[in-house]
């Protein structure tokens, strides 16, 4: 199946569909990663805070693919912000993943109450980029004000901002800021998983408008949502541990939504965030030590 890639602002190609492994227990991670790579995925999104980087590395090794055939993305947790701490956090992640270099390394959250540490962490990413340890750097969960401060205080425009983005929460204003600066929008909870595991109301999976579009194409609502991201130029990192769903979420390169269908999905935005408010992230509330490799 034809694989879609997006070209980041520094020329690096990112496979547009990756496997996300948030909440994937370590004991299920290796098998999920191996299965994803077997059915054609070439991009895995993990994080130091997911505590499964070692098992991601094992899945990549078991796939038999070469290191340069898999795009490996991970995230620095807030406890490791600061120039030296972040440089060391690279060693921890690369050590657990058992890789020499990372394809994309991002700051997991802004730390608004200690933004100087956030800036120092980003400067460490700039050094890792200059040293060839990472091929691209970026951020996650940054709001426009955080991006403004980052752009004013550092030199490398982030290649990516990974943000909550699904039909019920679309962040159009933030995406306009990304477009202005050449920052790629990567969707987390891209099929609205957070509307099922966090919230009590209707989930994206059984949204009537999405079901209607899905029926018209003989596809699932998850596939329709992933297609919506691809056609609007975003990358997406759906999570599953089930082989059938891992395959389903990758079988999205052979159909096309109409302009009207894309607009109908755009109209589902509620403006209500499922994840934590980025301005509420503090070490007190969210801190956790990241173990050594």
Q: Which of 52, 63, 86, 141 binds ligand NDP (CB under 6 A)?
A: 141
Known catalytic residue at 81: no
Which of 44/87 has CB closer to ligand NDP?
A: 44
**DSSP letters for 73-142:** EEEE-GGG-SHHHHHHHHHHHHHHHT-S-BSEEEESS--GGGHHHHHHHHHHHHHHHHTTSBS-EEEES-
DSSP state of 50: G
* Backbone angle region of 82, left / alpha / beta, with phi > 0 → left and psi within -120 to 50 → alpha: left
Closest separation between CB of residue 222 and ligand NDP, Å? 3
**Which is nearer to ligand NDP, 131 or 255 (by Cβ)?**
255
Is residue 200 within 8 A of residue 210, CB to CB? The reply is no
**Interaction between residue 79 and ligand NDP (CB under 6 A):** no
Q: Which residue is nearest to ligand NDP (CB)?
A: 193
Give least dist CB 28 to ligand NDP, A. Answer: 9
Residue 130: name the closest of 155, 110, 150 by CA.
155
Could you write out the DSSP letters of every residue in 218-236? T--HHHHHHHHHHHTT-EE
Give the residue with the Cβ less far from ligand NDP, 140 or 171.
140
Instruction: Please say which residue, 90 or 188, places its beta carbon nearer to ligand NDP.
Output: 188
| Per-residue mark of binding to ligand NDP, 274-293 (x: CB under 6 A) | -x------------------
Which residues in this chain contact ligand NDP in the complex, by CB under 6 A?
20-22, 45, 108, 140-141, 162, 188-194, 197, 205, 220, 222, 237-242, 245, 248-249, 275
């Amino acid at each position: 199946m034809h694989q879609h890639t997006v070209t980041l602002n520094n020329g690096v190609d990112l496979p547009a569909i990756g496997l996300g492994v948030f909440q994937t227990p370590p004991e299920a991670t290796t098998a999920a990663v191996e299965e994803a790579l077997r059915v054609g995925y070439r991009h895995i999104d993990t994080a130091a805070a997911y505590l499964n980087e070692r098992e991601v590395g094992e899945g990549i090794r078991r796939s038999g693919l070469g290191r340069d055939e898999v795009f490996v993305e991970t995230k620095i947790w807030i406890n490791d912000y600061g120039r030296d701490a972040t440089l060391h956090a690279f060693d921890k992640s690369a050590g657990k993943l058992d890789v020499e270099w990372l394809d994309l390394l991002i700051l997991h959250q802004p730390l608004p109450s200690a933004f100087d540490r956030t800036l120092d962490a980003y400067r460490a990413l700039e050094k890792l980029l200059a040293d060839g340890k990472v091929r691209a750097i970026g951020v996650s969960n940054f709001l426009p004000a955080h991006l403004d401060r980052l752009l004013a205080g550092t030199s490398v425009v982030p290649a990516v901002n990974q943000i909550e983005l699904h039909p019920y929460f679309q962040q159009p204003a933030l995406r306009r800021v990304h477009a202005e600066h050449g920052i790629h929008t990567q969707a987390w909870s891209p099929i609205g998983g957070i509307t099922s595991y966090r919230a009590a109301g209707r989930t994206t999976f059984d949204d009537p408008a999405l079901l209607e579009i899905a029926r018209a194409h003989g596809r699932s609502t998850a596939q329709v949502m992933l297609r919506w991201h691809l056609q609007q130029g975003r990358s997406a990192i759906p999570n599953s541990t089930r082989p059938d769903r891992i395959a389903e979420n990758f079988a999205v390169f052979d159909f096309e939504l109409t302009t009207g269908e894309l607009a109908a999905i755009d109209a589902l935005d509620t403006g209500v965030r499922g994840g934590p408010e980025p301005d509420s992230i503090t070490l007190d509330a969210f801190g956790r030590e990241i173990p050594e490799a």
